[in-house]
Amino acid sequence: MAHPDDVDFGSAGTMATMSALGVHITYCLVTDGDAGGSDRSLPRAEMAATRRVEQTAAAKVVGVHDLVFLGHPDGRVEANLQLRCDISRVIRQVRPQVVLCQSPERNLDRIYASHPDHLAAGEAALAAVYPDSRNPFAFPELLEEGLEPWTVPEVWLSAHPTMTDVVDVTEHFDRKIEALLCHESQHPDPAGMQLRVRQWMGGTAVANGLAEGRLAEGYRVVVTI
């Protein structure tokens, strides 16, 4: 994900659901979110440190304890070779069965989900899944670090314009909200945020055939093998 709190807005319910089933999850944050918030008097380095603490606390709420921060500059993320290498490194270290990332395609119905950093992080993550992390000749420095190639079988794209699958996370909605509220520096209106998130998730559920009152998070699932 591009920023701290991105995973919580898009997928904290899914993370809580998976961790409750015993799935081991690792978060990879491309930036520290140093361009976030609205307090101009706060030094950006302090904001970055704050957001790492907030994301770590939010992850714990949904059962995630492994986090990797890549430290790329917030607001200036590019899907360049350096970012592709950094994400490929994490993939080879973690060796996941699924990579969940942001969509590289702009969603004009959810423009806030299509921040340029999100699009770039999604593009770099997809390139890292295929072909970089599985290709022994891509980024030979990773082989020199002792990291063998790894093939990720499946990618879940969050906020993609065309969903193929949803996760019913109704039972974990409270944990999602608790995780989001850990990002105190980003929520001038916590009550309004909670209402918007419930509305989004309710709309996703109904649009994908779930009963009225259910809450869901949606993905475009891509099989890569």
Question: What pLDDT does 195 receive?
Answer: 97
pLDDT of residue 13: 98
Nearest to 86 by CA among 55, 114, 120: 120
**Contact at 8 Å (CB) between 133 and 150?**
yes
pLDDT in tens, the chain (225 residues): 999 999 999 999 999 999 999 999 999 999 999 999 888 888 899 999 999 999 999 999 999 999 999 999 999 999 999 999 999 999 999 999 999 999 999 999 888 889 999 999 999 999 999 999 999 999 999 999 999 999 999 999 999 999 999 999 999 999 999 999 999 999 999 999 999 999 999 999 999 999 999 999 999 999 999
* pLDDT recorded at residue 66: 98
Q: Which residues contact 40 (CB under 8 A, 6 or more apart)?
A: none
Residue spans of the domains in the chain: they are 6-223
> Which amino acid, one-letter code, is at 10?
G
Tokens of 129: 């899944």
CATH number corresponding to 6-223: 3.40.50.10320
Q: Which amino acid is at 142?
A: L
Q: What is the DSSP string of 76-117?
A: -----HHHHHHHHHHHHHH--SEEEEE-SS--TTSGGGG-HH
Quote the CA–CA distance of 105 and 120 in Å, as a whole number: 9
pLDDT at 39: 83
Give dist(CA 47, CA 195) in Å, integer: 26
The beta strand positions in the chain, using DSSP E, are: 26-31, 66-72, 98-102, 154-158, 165-168, 216-223
Listed residue (132, 37, 117) closest to 81, CA to CA: 132
CA distances from 173 to 162, 170, 187, 214 (A): 23, 5, 18, 10
Token pair for residue 185?
């520096």
pLDDT given for residue 41 in this prediction? 86
